[in-house]
Chains A and B, each alone.
Chain A
Amino acid sequence: MRVNGVERPLPHDPRTLLSDHLRHNLRLTGTHVGCEHGVCGCCTVLLDGRPVRSCLLLAVQANGHEVTTIEGLAPAGGPLHPIQRAFHEAHALQCGFCTPGFVLAVKGFLDAHPNPSDAEIDEGISGNLCRCTGYANIRKAVKQAAAQAR
């Protein structure tokens, strides 16, 4: 499988979840793990450009596919991705635990809806949980990122 543009090995045990493979074997700990049954959205990554839950995918299923994690969104040490910058500027994070999942879910959402309505934004971020109650600012960040992309 390719992760952030680099060919990486598959795990030996097929029951390894993609989330665990990324974190434990590939040491890409930017992908966070919350509920591990698809509810919280923390572990969202892009599979061939589409956001998916990495805790609901076996790592072997990514064989032959391109996985993008938060580490792959902007080069290390370089400028932030516009969505990351919007989150930073709009104060759309407090503890940051949910943020990588949000950013990648928003990436997939804005790719599909470049000009989203408020209702579409709410729907687009509704699959991710933030327990610092940052939704108002997250919504602001999504609007800002969409405006900057236009």
Chain B
Amino acid sequence: MKPAPFAYHAPASVEEAVRLLTTLEDAKVLAGGQSLVPLLNFRLARPAHLVDINGIPGLDRIYERDGGVALQALVRQADAEASELLRSRCPLVPEALRHVAHAVIRNRGTVVGSIAHADPAAELPAVLLALNGEVHVQGPRGVRDIPAADFFRGVLESALEPDELALEAWFPAFTGAHGIREESRRHGDYAMAGAVRAGDRLALFGVAPTPVVADPHHPAKDIRPSGDLEATPEFRRHLVEVMTRELFAA
């Protein structure tokens, strides 16, 4: 038995899920589980309650709204990667998804879950930030949209309240110049550093506690990346310079 004990809840509707999140102390939402379950297996996370939203029907749509594309909470990364709608309206998203872990992980992992998890080295939060996307959430006080610029607060920390459920990620349609670069020691690992271009906007990941917007002309100016076994701060800054140059050379 790897995870510590928890009470398991499988709500059948969004309302029931929000009710559970509102009433339960120390509850965590389980969607694709590709980040959460490793944390449970290592007992780095030991929530008292798991609210598994996988049984909620009608929460796996990719659809157009408000001049962009919305992905609901149970859209698997593999399905977003193959989505014709995203490829035509928002091609940066499927391109970035190819860098997210491995194909088998993407069969289960969700786009919204990856954003809500707010890992600073993850691709999708940086893509949301580069595109000025939003997270649509529902809580006991109703629904609200949180712009990407306000959503990411720190390492694995977002503006989601404990009683709120992230329902959709919304990406504005964008077919201009775009791209993503990242460098990792092993294929499929989290990036040592990465960069996302959407038009004139540049977002960096893996170099700060959250994804950050940077100046394409001086991308490493305001970042103070940490060093670890994989990369020194200087090497991360170097990677950022090189990747930005490549992205904006086209």
Contacts and interface: CB of A to CB of B under 8 A. Distances in A.
Nearest to B109: A56
A61 B34 contact: no
A52 B38 contact: no
Contacts of B54: 61
A126 interface: yes
Contacts of B33: 56-58, 61
Nearest to A101: B104
Interface in A31-85: 36-38, 41, 44, 47, 50-53, 55-58, 60-61
Interface stretch (B2-10, B193-201, B225-233): B2-10
Nearest to B8: A14
Given A20-B1, A61-B54, A126 B102 contact: yes
B108 A52 contact: yes
B63 interface: no
A44 B105 CA distance: 10
Contact of A127 (B5, B40, B41, B103): B103
A109 B108 contact: no
Contacts of A44: 104
A14 B6 contact: yes
A4 interface: no
Contacts of B104: 41, 44, 51-53, 105, 108, 127-128
Contacts of A137: none
A53 B103 CA distance: 11
Contact of B3 (A15, A41, A109): A15
Interface in B156-190: 187-188
7 contacts: A14-B7, A15-B8, A20-B1, A53-B108, A105-B104, A126-B102, A127-B103
Interface of A: 13-17, 20, 36-38, 41, 44, 47, 50-53, 55-58, 60-61, 105, 108-109, 123-124, 126-128
Given A51-B104, A109-B103, A127-B102, 5 more contacts: A15-B5, A15-B6, A56-B37, A60-B52, A128-B104
Which A-B residue pairs are the 8 nearest by beta carbons?
Answer: A127-B102, A14-B8, A37-B38, A56-B37, A15-B3, A50-B107, A51-B104, A127-B104
